[in-house]
Amino acid sequence: MDSATTPPTNGRQPWEASYPAGLDWRTPIPEQPLHRLMEEACAAFPNSVCLDFYGKRITYRQTGGLIDRAARGLQDLGIATGGKVALLLPNCPYSVIAFHAILKAGGVVVNLNPLASIAELADQIEHSGTEVLITLDLVPFHAKLDALGWPGRLRTVVVARMADALPFPRNWAYRLLKRRDVARIPRDDRHVSFRRLLADRGAPRPVAVQPRADPAVLQYTGGTTGVPKGTVLTHAALYANTMQCRRWFTGAEPGRERVLAVLPFFHVFGMTGVMNFALALGAELILLPRVDVREILETIQRKRPTIFSGVPRLFQAIAAFPRLNRYDLSSLRLCVSGGDSLPPLLLERFQQRTGAYLAEGYGLTEASPVVTCNPFSGLNKPGSAGLPLPGTLVEIVSLDDRRTLLSQGRIGEVCVSGPQLMAGYWQDATATAQAMDGGHLHTGDIGFLDADGYLHIVDRLKDLIVTGGQHVYPRTVEAVIKQHPQVADAAAVGEPDPVRGQAIRAFVVPQPGSALSEAELRAFLAPRLSRVEQPQRIEFRTALPTSTIGKILKRALIPERPGDDDREVNRPADR
């Protein structure tokens, strides 16, 4: 019998009264190996389309067969229980097949960001103990691999051919027109083709998985110190979070949904909230390997997806796209936003211009990642991060005393308990103990629960500015700056000040063609911010540095800031 995790029963929680009809926050969540998602989908929807990549479509039965063959191929390469296999891939069929093949072989997925620096990749490959790496035969990937050398325990690179993933005749055109983009792969024992990995050697050897104890994914966070920090996510944690997301979508039609996959699968949001969520629904995954707004709109019109997850900057770009009304976006039933705060005005504008429902959620890598989300049926509160997912306990603790729980409406640090939490940080007991102090996850976010149980994120704890002994929330300053019609983007940070302790420095991106001056902006801010919230310095920029999924990287604006940690957070209020 499968074991299950039951939510705590210490009284009725405030959010339960706001839950969607028919959904019980306390229903136990099974503990299962993560690759069971694909097995269950293959059994239930064998003839339904699983993957669509530029028109090449393969069914769940076909995808399951490829996963089995790749799993056996990895086992024959020496991957056994706990063996680390890194993925250096964009969204494509190989990323889905390889991910679940690694798990079925008994291995652990190490997600690598193809846009990371060579130094970051080398650190993560060595720190994780990666033995095998799977990538594409594209020049940008192999230029990095050549520069990397063979760090740590890395002994084999499996190379997948992009042309093989494309439909006819696009695959032939790619071979003819994109020859310069294809890397020359050395003919040696260290390099293995993905075709060879798929050679039919029979079924993979069965592997016993202890879902609660065995890692499924080693997910590296956005480091700022140069020391990699790997989040250990077990099979049970990732399976639980996927099923929490699946249950949350109460109106889903299993086997009939189409999910547009633009968020990268190497990021925890895309991995759970798009890829595995879609598999749990038996949905068709429409794969796009890059973010291009025109291509996204054309794909929505042509492929008719019903579900689309993204980040606020992407929804902003879509809402602002010229002649958006020329595209038929009527197939979209649900859009989910994460990764940064979703301004209420953007939510309203996006819904008005597209007709699609947009819900904001909150999460972080250490929670696999989803913690809360606005309901898809019920009250969607603009500016809030929504309600805790089934089985998830959200508590607010004092900023002065990590053990004191605060009542509704009071602002403190957001703490999370639930079956989706990490097992810890890889080979970092000290950081694990700090994050899990008191038996729950300290998120490092400042927020509060309102009377209906909705979570509101005020700011990031480490971004809090203490100036002249008073607390200032950068998010408040940023929101007011963005109200100016000539401002496209803004970020507020604290920088050392010998008198105040910290001074507020604002980085502002004017709208294209704007002649906005500092004096004009200060005149606008004067009546809208308190004296202590007024920026001491304003610096105009043409753009702000962002992460892979579009979050502003404040550490890149003020890199010398003390106290930066290494967490990568998929949250409405992030640095």
pLDDT one-digit tens code per residue, 15-69: 999 999 999 999 999 999 999 999 999 999 999 999 999 999 999 999 999 999 9
**Percent of the chain at pLDDT exceeding 70:** 94
Q: Is the pLDDT of residue 572 over 90?
A: no
Provide the pLDDT confidence category of residue 5 given band limits of 50, 70 and 90.
low
Q: So what's the pLDDT on residue 555?
A: 80
Q: Is the pLDDT of residue 228 over 70?
A: no
> 118-150: per-residue pLDDT in tens?
989 999 999 999 999 999 999 999 889 989 989
* 0.85 surpassed by pTM: yes
Closest CA to 11 of 395, 439, 456: 395
Beta bridge mates, 495: 503
Q: So what's the pLDDT on residue 470?
A: 85
Q: So what's the pLDDT on residue 402?
A: 87
Provide the pLDDT confidence category of residue 418 given band limits of 50, 70 and 90.
very high
Q: So what's the pLDDT on residue 192?
A: 96
Whether the CB-CB separation of 283 and 110 falls below 8 Å is answered with: no
Q: Quick one: CA torsion of 436, 437, 441, 447, rounded to 10 degrees? A: -160
Q: Is the pLDDT of residue 439 over 80?
A: yes
Q: Is the pLDDT of residue 224 over 50?
A: no
Tokens 């084999």 -> residue? 156
Task: Tell me the C-alpha distance between 163 and 530, whole Å.
Answer: 58
Task: Tell me the C-alpha distance between 406 and 412, whole Å.
Answer: 7
Task: Tell me the C-alpha distance between 124 and 132, whole Å.
Answer: 13
> 154-210: per-residue pLDDT in tens?
999 999 999 999 999 999 988 888 888 999 999 999 999 999 999 988 999 999 999
Q: So what's the pLDDT on residue 220?
A: 93
Q: So what's the pLDDT on residue 3?
A: 65
> 369-414: per-residue pLDDT in tens?
999 999 998 899 999 999 999 999 999 999 888 889 999 999 999 9
Q: Is the pLDDT of residue 280 over 50?
A: yes
| Average pLDDT of the segment spanning 96-116 | 96
Q: So what's the pLDDT on residue 462?
A: 86
| Average pLDDT of the segment spanning 227-249 | 93
Q: So what's the pLDDT on residue 176?
A: 85
Q: What is the DSSP string of 22-79?
A: T--TT--EE---TTHHHHHHHHH-TTSEEEEETTEEEEHHHHHHHHHHHHHHHHHTT-
Angle CA 552–355–360, to nearest 5: 35
Q: So what's the pLDDT on residue 548?
A: 73
Average pLDDT, rounded, for the chain? 92
Q: So what's the pLDDT on residue 574?
A: 33
Tokens 């503990």 -> residue? 31
Q: So what's the pLDDT on residue 9?
A: 54
Q: Is the pLDDT of residue 88 over 90?
A: yes
| Average pLDDT of the segment spanning 451-456 | 97
Q: Give start and end residues of each alpha helix (H) in 46-187.
A: 60-76, 93-104, 118-128, 139-148, 162-165, 170-177
Quick check: helix, strand or coil at residue 502? strand
Q: So what's the pLDDT on residue 84?
A: 98
Q: Is the pLDDT of residue 242 over 90?
A: yes
Provide the pLDDT confidence category of residue 80 given band limits of 50, 70 and 90.
very high
Tokens 């003390």 -> residue? 562
Domains located in the chain, CATH noted: 4-449 (3.40.50.12780), 464-544 (3.30.300.30)
Q: So what's the pLDDT on residue 559?
A: 58
Provide the pLDDT confidence category of residue 553 given band limits of 50, 70 and 90.
confident
Task: Tell me the C-alpha distance between 94 and 370, whole Å.
Answer: 25
